[in-house]
Amino acid sequence: MLIPRSIRGRLTTIAVLVGALVFGTSSAITVATVPGSLRDRVDARVELAVRRTASDARMGKLPAKLETPARVQFVQVIAPDGRVVAAGRLGQQRLVTGFDPPEPERIYATDRKLTGLPPKIDPGGDYRVMAMSVRTPSGPVTVYGAASLADVNRALTWVYGLLFIGTPLVLLIIGLITWVVVGFALRPVERIRARLADITGADLSSRVPVPATGDEITRLAATTNSTLDRLERSAETQRRFVADASHELRSPITALRTQLDYATAYPEETDWYDTCVRAMAAADRLADIIDELLMLARLDAGAVAPRTTVDLCDLARDQADRRQDARVPVHLSPCGPAPVLGSPTQLDRVLTNLLDNAVRHAGTRVDLDVSLDGRDVVVTVTNDGDSIAAEDRERVFERFTRLEAGRSRDRRGSGLGLALSREIVNAHGGAITVADHEPGARFVVRLPLRAVSPSP
């Protein structure tokens, strides 16, 4: 392809093409206007001298020796018989022959090579010659004037030289400067690329160099390092998640395997009903862990469940009704409509996890409250059990995290419930926090209120 693939080559090519366009246009304008402008100035000088002399001749005031203007080589007045009537500093020798104006009172011009001029006056080359016939009291005469075109030709030689030799040279310089400057500007990018090429999934601790120029490349390097930070944290979280998941899954599987091994080894001594009950409990725990892991994986992948209008008051009422026979009953405060936009299954799972956690840690009471606060629906779950220390209020939402009090009360928990609840709430545009409460713990969920149009 004609267009280079590298940014450096493309920018250099663009700079040269733009320079060629600019200089080409300028050169064309110069070639079209400068020669005519230079010749017009010569014409103006010669024409002024000829007309002034013709005016003097017309009034019969010709001096014997004409005054020759600067940069005009000569002015002569010639009679019809070829006699020099008046002349300037070159004397009485006729210098122009074979150029007679066809009509009087009009100026005619031509380019000629003249001979007979003194070397100190003759610059050589072509001359711009003008002639004009006029009537005088003594009869008709012809006024001649001439100026050298040597200065014009010399100037045009320089102009053409600059245009046709200087323009390619300037374009070459533009290309070299652009190549060097772009290469220097892209040097940090190459260092970033080289460092990124050395970073592998096995080791994400390396970072790209950040130049101190403060430009777009600096921001690119800073953003790259920020992305690498997130990738490293994500990879570390993933490794820890896999390790913790393996550990949590191993416990129910080991328990189930132990029970089955014992039952098959001593079938006569086995209470098969009790064994099946315990095996089903282990299988249920295993299924719960797998369901929570699958839901977390879907949330991590950005999957969005079908959403509709959900009344959190109705969900809370259903949860309280299902838990009337629990170890610690759930007391629901009176609530009105609290519509939000979300997945009924996922939001019900949030209430389930929070209430299971509250019942597990409660002493005698669990309170559930659903209320409106401005544009938010606020769900509060409170228990009168162990308090959560301030330093642990964020840690309880980490995956597979179980505080010591929770482990001592119930060893069957997986440590995924609160983490899953936060992921679901965040996916619904809300927030879940642990609020101050003594005694016990209080979890507060805020979700955006959905305005519902009244029925017609």
Q: What is the pLDDT of residue 277?
A: 79
Judge if 131 and 243 occupy the same domain. no
Same domain flag for 328 and 427: yes
Last residue of a domain, one of 300, 333, 349: 300
Does residue 259 share a domain with residue 237?
A: yes
Tokens 């100037």 belong to residue: 155
CA-closest candidate to residue 445, choices 355, 334, 363: 355
Q: Is 426 inside any structural domain?
A: yes
Q: What is the pLDDT of residue 134?
A: 93
* CATH number of 350's domain: 3.30.565.10
- Are 290 and 400 contained in the same domain? no
Same-domain pairing of 403 and 370: yes
327 found inside a domain: yes
362 Cβ contact list (under 8 Å, min separation 6): 328, 383, 384, 385, 440
Same structural domain for residues 274 and 339? Answer: no
Alpha-carbon distance of 239 to 232, in angstroms, equals 10
Residues 276 and 386 in one domain: no
On whether residue 137 sits in a domain, the answer given is: yes
- Position 85 scores a pLDDT of 87
Inside any domain, residue 190: no
pLDDT of 456: 44
**pLDDT on residue 133:** 94
Structural domain boundaries, residue 80: 10-153
Do residue 149 and residue 14 come from a single domain? Answer: yes
Task: Let me know whether 265 and 315 are in one domain.
Answer: no
279 and 384 together in one domain:
no
Question: How many residues are listed for the chain in this entry?
Answer: 456
pLDDT beneath 70, residues of the chain: 1-3, 91, 116, 119-124, 201-202, 240-241, 244-245, 247-249, 251, 296, 299-303, 402-415, 452-456
Question: Can you give the CATH number for the domain in which 241 is found?
Answer: 1.10.287.130
Same domain, 136 and 260: no
Instruction: Say if CB 345 and CB 390 are below 8 A apart.
Output: no
Place of tokens 């209470």: 271
Domain with residue 67: its CATH number is: 3.30.450
The pLDDT tens digits of the residues spanning 53-84 come to 999 888 888 887 888 888 888 899 999 888 88
pLDDT at res. 305: 75
Number of domains in the chain: 3
Which of 153, 168, 196 marks a domain boundary?
153
pLDDT value of position 73: 84
Residues 410-422 as b/e (b if ≥16 CB within 10 A, e otherwise) read eeebbbbbbbbbb
User: Could you tell me if residue 399 is inside a domain?
Assistant: yes
Distance of CA 441 to the CA centre of its chain: 48
* Same structural domain, 396 and 428: yes
Domain contains 71: yes
Cα(127)–Cα(285) distance, rounded to whole angstroms?
A: 112
Q: Which of 256, 273, 300 is the last residue of a domain?
A: 300
